[in-house]
Amino acid sequence: MQFGVSTFLWKSPFTTESFDLIHKIKGFGFDIIEVAVEKQELIDWARLKELVNETGLQVTISGAFGAERDISNYDPLIRAQGLKYITDCIKIAHNIGSPIFGGPVYSAVGKTRFINKEQKKRERDWCIENLVKIGKIADDYGIIIGVEPLNRFETDMINTVDQAMLLVREVASPNIKIQLDTFHCNIEEKNIPDTIRKIGKDMICHIQANESDRGTPGTGNVDWIGIKEALDEIGYEKAIVIETFGEVSEEIARAASIWRPLANSSDELAIDGLAFYKKLFS
């Protein structure tokens, strides 16, 4: 098992000026830095690749899906922007050596409405149409797309793993799988270990192992022992990543409803979270 942490824990957006985090994350003992791509033009990707190679860190790439990056939007211009953003992130992942690009690729975070069945179907059709294109692009670049279910307060499209699996099967691309976030699962799933078993080793591509309050892993009510047992049972050996939020932008705060500090400091959350991971998964 490899352990990682998201740049979201310290910076939003992550930029070239944030590159001191690379040495910090390596010094804490993590294997992976998960780079959240909010504003790709603010990151010197060539220099980032040099630094992670120097430190020996691996990289995973995650998305930030604001309203203008919504592949299921009624506005075709916004759908096109969403497709371009995901395509750009696939290329970034390929160039920097990330095996995956993950997130709620199907819609915009914070898009929560009560809509009729006809509108739901239209949006789903647009989503599937674009995901089929994305699957082909991901295949060209050797990248896996992780479809991440979000809780009901952050999206009205894909809340549960059952919904995500149905979407992935409809798209029918070997390069589109499921990314699991235990924070969202703790709200939406009946039993997280059983959910992991249901997805299985072949369909689960990435795990963000977050606590019930998005705070330090091991300090809340997530069933960590059951999760470990289920991951052992299916033979999962990929990344386990802390993805929570420290210094948040206004957009992230609204989308994820982060209104208070989640730990005494981002550094403390990272250090204690990694110690918990190592003890749990040893």
The DSSP secondary-structure symbol of 179 reads: E
**Structure tokens of 185?**
């699962």
Task: Give the whole-angstrom CA distance, residue 96 versus residue 119.
Answer: 38
Q: Are 243 and 8 in contact (CB under 8 A)?
A: yes
Crossing angle of helices 161-171 and 117-141, in 10° steps, is 60
**Structure tokens of 121?**
């179907």
**Structure tokens of 112?**
């929560």
Q: What positions carry a catalytic annotation?
A: 148, 243
Listed in order, strand segments (DSSP E) in 48-109 are: 58-63, 100-103
Instruction: Look at the alpha carbons of 147, 149, 150, 156 in this order and tell me if their dihedral is positive or negative.
Output: positive
